[in-house]
Amino acid sequence: MMNNQKSLDCLFDELLSNERIFINKEVLRHSYTPDQLPHRQRQIEEVAAILVSVFKGETPSNIFVYGKTGTGKTAVVKHIGKALVKKIGGKFFSKTFRDNNIVPDYSAVTDNDYPVWFIYMNCEIVDTQYRLLAKLGEYFGQSIPLTGWPTDKVYDTFFSTLDREKRLVIIVLDEIDRLLRKGSDEVLYNLTRVNSDLVNARVSIIGITNDLNFIEFLDPRVRSSLGEEEIVFPPYDAIQLQDILTQRAKMSCRSINLIDTGVVPLCSAYAAQEHGDARRALDLFRVAGELAEREKSKRITEKHVREAKDHIEQDRIVEVVKTLPIQSKLVLYSCILLEKYEPSGISTGEVYTVYRDLCKLSSSEILTQRRISDIISELDMLGILNAKVVSKGRYGRTKEIRMGVPVTQAKRVLELDRKIERVATYVPPIQHKL
């Protein structure tokens, strides 16, 4: 009978634990734009105040928006785009491109006086002048191949279709710094001064970036044009993050009671440490919830949040290392092998000699030291390595390289690669300190 009793309890337990915590995880995704944007009222008003000239039939000033990642820049701009289009009475349209990559559901056309277009572009994906112009051209119904044409032809086609009728085009360039990176600020220059050549159409640009130094590297002419209006998004503090997270948590969970009281504050505190990144807070919360569900826990607890914090970092490392090109893997592996002997920092030269041996052993192509130097810098930017330029006086200048992630873990992931596996038995020549 005791047995019976127990199994009945278990039955309920099981039923209860089968009920999931989340009912809608969508709202926790980065791509989701909520209707309410807490603690961004001021920024919304600022942007709106500039764009209001649309209603007076004027061309709004160009806007430059900057702030760290996860401070709501993109969300605010999209939000306003939506509101703007709604107000004018336009209809949202979405368009699937041939590469069916971007479906901009917040771009819009109205038929009031003349059409207003609100176009959102993420320059992380559309990151060269050719691609940007081609993409813009596509919006206006031009069919431009993904590659092949000379750029000036792409520009001309874009320009002439744009100017075919009277219209106002607001172009949002998110992650605009990507366009500058490696190369041409030509597009920006052309786009910012396109108005002087246009007869019918008008263009205004909203540039978004999280790179605060970005402006300094801009061509002065572009800078002054793009920065007609500047709007700064300060990082959220822990309290503000709590508000944001609470709002989303309510939407995503079956019941707010499934969340321990410490959970939201803890997520927010962690995120606040990382320059107030709201995305981070959302990620932490989502992963914590997923972990809770996985272990059939009825509630999300602070323990889950702490686990989530590790989990996210681990996942990132595994993902990044796993998808590295083979040359980068070989370089990283060289660093790992050397790290044992020189934990205080490895030099580029040392890495290169080991790397060369590894290449021979795995019959890979040997790249030049110049290139390896760049690869090391790339790994540094990914946070997998820490490379600092130091001068050792009489003994030259070099990068002092350390591991940026746990060695054993990185090693394990690298050795999943067949080519790396083949060189796993290699032992670097013994280094001696001076």
Partner DNA sequence: CGTCCACAGGAATCCCTGGGTT
Partner DNA sequence: AACCCAGGGATTCCTGTGGACG
| Contact positions vs DNA (CB under 7 A) | 127-131, 145-152, 182-184, 325, 327, 347-350, 365-371, 373-377, 389, 391-399
CB 362 within 8 A of CB 330: yes
C-beta of 244 vs 358, nearer to DNA:
358
Which tokens go with 215? 């402006």
CB 207 within 8 A of CB 171: no
C-beta of 33 vs 184, nearer to DNA:
184
Instruction: Identify the DSSP state of 197.
Output: T
As measured in angstroms, the least distance from the Cβ of 107 to DNA is 22
**Amino acid identity at 103:** V
C-beta of 370 vs 433, nearer to DNA:
370
CB 133 within 8 A of CB 23: no
C-beta of 92 vs 341, nearer to DNA:
341
C-beta of 265 vs 345, nearer to DNA:
345
As measured in angstroms, the least distance from the Cβ of 329 to DNA is 12
As measured in angstroms, the least distance from the Cβ of 229 to DNA is 29
As measured in angstroms, the least distance from the Cβ of 387 to DNA is 7
Whole-number Å distance between alpha carbons of 410 and 170? 45
From residue 239, give the alpha-carbon distance in Å to each of 193, 256, 279: 42, 18, 15
H helices present in 143-301, as ranges: 151-162, 177-180, 186-192, 220-226, 238-252, 263-273, 278-294
Whole-number Å distance between alpha carbons of 368 and 364? 13
C-beta of 368 vs 425, nearer to DNA:
368
As measured in angstroms, the least distance from the Cβ of 412 to DNA is 24
As measured in angstroms, the least distance from the Cβ of 343 to DNA is 17
Residue for token pair 């540094």:
380
Whole-number Å distance between alpha carbons of 125 and 123? 5
For Cα atoms 69, 104, 182, give the angle at the middle one, nearest 5 degrees.
50
Look at residues 220, 230, 146, 161 and name the one whose alpha carbon lies nearest to residue 194: 161
C-beta of 297 vs 377, nearer to DNA:
377
Q: What is the DSSP string of 221-260?
A: HHHHHHTTEEEEEPPP-HHHHHHHHHHHHHHHBS-GGGB-
Whole-number Å distance between alpha carbons of 146 and 6? 65
C-beta of 296 vs 322, nearer to DNA:
322
As measured in angstroms, the least distance from the Cβ of 151 to DNA is 4
As measured in angstroms, the least distance from the Cβ of 430 to DNA is 16
Which tokens go with 112? 């009031």
As measured in angstroms, the least distance from the Cβ of 149 to DNA is 6
C-beta of 49 vs 146, nearer to DNA:
146
Give the side-chain half-sphere CA count within 13 A for 215.
16
As measured in angstroms, the least distance from the Cβ of 434 to DNA is 8
CB 284 within 8 A of CB 267: yes
C-beta of 296 vs 371, nearer to DNA:
371
